[in-house]
Amino acid sequence: MPTPSSPLLPDERLAAGAARLASRYAGHFSPETVLGLLADSYTRLAEQARVRTHLVVLAERLTAERLDALAHTQGLVNGPTRVLFVCSQNAGRSQMAAALLAHRAGERVTVSSAGTRPADEVEPHIAQALTEAGADLADAYPKPLTEEVVEAADIVITMGCGDACPVVPGRRYLDWPVADPEAAPIAVVREIRDEIDAHISELLVQLAP
């Protein structure tokens, strides 16, 4: 593995994460592939961040998600149906949809979310509305849309990202025209949550074996 002073690392603190990921994905991906994705993940997250305290941790998590998706696409691992939610900022609608589907589907589905122009934090009322519904948003953070995650998705659900929404041949696309909860009062966020949950119910029926 490169040393902490490697010019490929935008932050020397990433070296420990690079070593962990290289060990975790040994046999699937080379250390160089892991390092390149980790550096890219950090750079993408840094572009949107106002506070960089947790960037190193988040970059490692984003890289792991991208490597999992890449392993799926290349047929290195098998898994359940993969659903990707995409909105503009990945701070409201797509976060709620991902959390609700993960809560209700469990291990039946692998869920991801991303934004075409990710914000630097999740909308404050989103976590409250989801907690009330029994869903967990504790580890959520706005993520940039990456090629690996899009290509690994079986179903891509767009939620207001317009022309910036990804289009990859062979994927099933759904569009859920749900209002944006940005800066909305909690009562409105609850209404949006319930509308999304109704869509989730329909999706689960379609995914049922």
Q: Helices (DSSP H) in 49-185: which residue ranges?
A: 55-73, 93-105, 124-132, 147-152
Residue pLDDT, tens place only, 172-192: 999 999 999 998 999 999 999
Query: From edge to edge, which strands make up the β-sheet containing 81-87?
Result: 109-115, 81-87, 155-158, 172-175
Its sign, for the CA torsion 153, 155, 161, 165, is: positive
Residue pLDDT, tens place only, 41-72: 999 999 887 767 789 999 999 999 999 999 99
DSSP, collapsed to helix, strand or coil, labels residue 209 as: coil
Q: Answer for the pair 190, 110: CB distance below 8 angstroms, yes or no.
A: no
pTM of the model: 0.91
- Which amino acid would we find at residue 166? P
